[in-house]
Structure 1
Amino acid sequence: MKKILFLTFFLGCTLAHSQAVRKYSNEFMNIGVDAAALGMSNAVVAHTNDVNSGYWNPAGLLNLEDSQASLMHASYFANIAQYDYAAYAKPIDDDSAWGISLIRFGVDDILNTTQLIDGDGNIDYNRISKFSTADYGLTLSYARRLKIPGFQYGVNAKVIRRVIGDFANSWGFGFDLGLQFEREDWKFGLMLRDITTTYNVWAINEEEYAKIKNAIPGENQDLPESSEITLPKAQLGMSKTFDFHNETYLKASGNLNMQFSRTNDILATNFVSIDPALGFEYNYTDLVFLRAGVGNFQNITQLDGSKKVGFQPNIGLGFKYKGIQVDYALTDLGDQSAALYSNIFSVKVDFSVFR
């Protein structure tokens, strides 16, 4: 009975997510990719310049000199949920580039106990089945250099696919726009996510939904609405690299992450809420990288009603040899993991190493 109640609650909450406008719709697309970026608290919008730019700021794809591929894996909720990412990008010519990436965030092998009790009221464990709930995000990126010196832009076209076993599924579509500008060793970036709003349309299996709608009297009696909208977000970044002339460099960067609604971010108004992030990367001979960052500044209400400012520190380490780069980050992935910190690994391959 506990399993039935849990499954009913899970499906009710998930299906209810498809009602009207949701500030946190498709939030799996905002977790972040690439251990190098996560180690810097995601403060990479201004200087991102590799295959992962398709996610952070597609304008950065123009800095590719050859084809690149990237992979990342991380776990959520004490390994219950899995987060996977793969990307590929390559230059088209000196003034344009393209890329493609895929994100999957899912929970597999969930027990479906809706048929545990047969029509005669008997418990039959052979009637238990398994299903998965998974979110997929496919992004196609294109970047081009503007005729204005120092300016470049990129656009993303996103296809969102969300599946909850046989109970419900949805398709969604959206667009991102990214800009980068460089002047006298200073880099600036702007990333506008879901600029047209990302629209998801759900298809709910009424036959399967009927099996759970009466599990809890008075709950889940009506089918949820079949659409949701992801509101736009913006990220403004700035970065500068300091050269110490002994084959060592220090990159300092900052982001202002903006949502156009009131949240618990440290800077919040009715129009926009801003969460700043700072990141640093120490580079020794383009071989060893040490990273640190701090972000996710939030106003946290205590039990006694008082408030304090919370934040999330991140650290990271990377190694690069002959076009193959392996990165590690110690971070609270998405700030929702069951453990205090998460271990994230990613690998990036520059195909010029094989030429």
Structure 2
Amino acid sequence: MKKLTLIFCFLLSINGFTQFRNYSNEFLNIGVDAAALGMSKTVVATSNNVNATYWNPAGLVAVKDYEGSLMHASYFAGIANYNFAGFAMPIDNKSALGLSLIRFGVDDILNTTELIDSEGNIDYNRIQLFSAADYAFTFSYARKMILDGFQFGANAKIIRRIIGDFATSWGFGFDAGIQFKRNNWEFGLMVRDITTTFNSWAINEEEFEKIRDAIPDQNQELPETTEITKPKVQLGVARKFTIGRDFGLQTEFDLNMRFAKTNDIFSSEFVSVDPALGFQLDFENMVFLRAGVGNFQNTEEFDGSSSIAVQPNFGLGFKYKGIQIDYALTNIGSTGNALYSNIFTIKFDYSFYR
């Protein structure tokens, strides 16, 4: 019955009522690149490689040759897997393009809707497995602007969401970003779902009928099939420092904004703001040590008292001969005994071999 209830909750989660939703396509907000996650996602102003396809497409103009990136992360004690693949290349000395693919999924979920037949007999051979997976394919374009130091970029993204044979969805939306650099200062603005992102669901009515009465006295009508994702804004300012001859320090402060009332530390009916701060110390641009703090949330305890929850992140990186390997330790997937999530990214820069 627990598995049956899980399926039932999946179907309820797509009830969009053809309205704006505060939380929709949330898998696109998890983040990619262990280097960025080790800094608590504070890279909107400084992202300047293939992973800018996610963080701020304006940063792609810094790509000098073919670049590729692969990332894998496991969340919720290994129940969910998050994978990312990206590619970027310059078009000319003023513009660049990128492609990326994200998959976030829970696989091998037990489908027990036919475990018990119409006569009350239990047959375990009737149990099947299915996956609940979200996909996003993004095409990115970036170009330097006429004004010195400014560059902009945009994403066009196609979203595919699949819940076994129960329901599927197609979505489409746009992101836009801008970066500005002056001396050692860098500024960035990223607007996700800038035109809103529309998802249209197709419900398998035959499969839905099998779980309509899964919970006693809770007969459910067929969910509505459309949802619209609100825009989100990320604003960042960064400063680079030189420490002696061999060390460099990159710092960035970001504000992550949603146009809804949430549990963020600064929240109103109009907008909620979650600040984040990240650091990266490098040795000759070859060895990297990263740290960050973010995801400040107002939480309510069981005794009715309130407190502020904070998420710290740490990371390491190593770059040699066009290959960069990064690791991040985060607690995005904190649950049960799995207090932290381990994230790995490998990036290839073909320009080293030219």
CA gap of 1:85–1:14, structure 2 versus 1, over 3 A, is same
SS in 2 for 1:333: coil
CA distance in 1, matches of 2:219, 2:49: 46
CA distance in 2, matches of 1:152, 1:116: 57
CA gap of 1:208–1:159, structure 2 versus 1, over 3 A, is same
Partner of 1:248: 247
CA distance in 1, matches of 2:214, 2:55: 43
CA distance in 1, matches of 2:335, 2:197: 23
Letter in 1 for 2:169: S
Shift of residue 26 of structure 1?
A: 0.2
CA distance in 2, matches of 1:236, 1:123: 56
Is the CA contact 1:20–1:225 (under 8 Å) kept in the aligned structure 2?
A: no
Is the CA contact 1:62–1:96 (under 8 Å) kept in the aligned structure 2?
A: yes
Partner of 1:4: 4
Is the CA contact 2:276–2:295 (under 8 Å) kept in the aligned structure 1?
A: yes
Q: Does 1:174 align with 2:173?
A: yes
Q: Does 1:215 align with 2:214?
A: yes
Partner of 1:265: 264
Shift of residue 191 of structure 1?
A: 0.2
CA gap of 1:338–1:188, structure 2 versus 1, over 3 A, is farther
CA distance in 1, matches of 2:2, 2:46: 50
- In structure 2, the gaps of 5 or more residues are none
- In structure 1, the gaps of 5 or more residues are none
Deviations 1:249-269 (A, max 9, x none): 011111000011111111112
Partner of 1:85: 84
CA distance in 2, matches of 1:319, 1:298: 32
Partner of 1:48: 47
Deviations 1:38-90 (A, max 9, x none): 00000000011000001000000001111100000011111111110000001
Shift of residue 19 of structure 1?
A: 6.0
CA gap of 1:220–1:178, structure 2 versus 1, over 3 A, is farther
Shift of residue 133 of structure 1?
A: 0.8
Letter in 2 for 1:105: F
Is the CA contact 1:31–1:334 (under 8 Å) kept in the aligned structure 2?
A: no
Shift of residue 126 of structure 1?
A: 1.3
Structure 1-normalised TM-score? 0.96
CA distance in 1, matches of 2:109, 2:169: 19
CA distance in 2, matches of 1:271, 1:205: 36
Shift of residue 337 of structure 1?
A: 8.5
Partner of 1:297: 296
CA gap of 1:221–1:264, structure 2 versus 1, over 3 A, is closer
Partner of 1:279: 278
CA gap of 1:110–1:290, structure 2 versus 1, over 3 A, is same
Query: What is the 5 A alignment of 1:140-151?
Result: 140-151=139-150
Partner of 2:94: 95
CA gap of 1:120–1:43, structure 2 versus 1, over 3 A, is same
CA distance in 2, matches of 1:303, 1:126: 42
Partner of 1:197: 196
Letter in 1 for 2:42: A
Letter in 1 for 2:220: Q
Letter in 1 for 2:134: D
CA distance in 2, matches of 1:146, 1:336: 45
Partner of 1:306: 305
SS in 2 for 1:118: coil
Letter in 2 for 1:161: R
CA distance in 1, matches of 2:348, 2:269: 44
Shift of residue 229 of structure 1?
A: 0.9
Query: What is the 5 A alignment of 1:149-164?
Result: 149-164=148-163
User: Which segment drifts farther, 156-165 or 117-126?
Assistant: 117-126
Partner of 1:37: 36
Partner of 1:345: 344
CA distance in 2, matches of 1:353, 1:34: 20
Deviations 1:79-131 (A, max 9, x none): 11111000000110011000011110001111111111122221111111111
- Among all aligned residue pairs of Structure 1 and Structure 2, give the percentage whose two residues are the same amino acid: 61
CA distance in 2, matches of 1:94, 1:353: 18
Letter in 1 for 2:46: H
Deviations 1:1-58 (A, max 9, x none): 44434433x3343333676332110000000000000000000000110000010000
User: Which segment drifts farther, 327-336 or 62-71?
Assistant: 327-336
CA distance in 2, matches of 1:146, 1:193: 20
- Count how many residue pairs are aligned between Structure 1 and Structure 2: 354
Shift of residue 290 of structure 1?
A: 0.4
Shift of residue 286 of structure 1?
A: 1.2
CA distance in 2, matches of 1:53, 1:253: 16
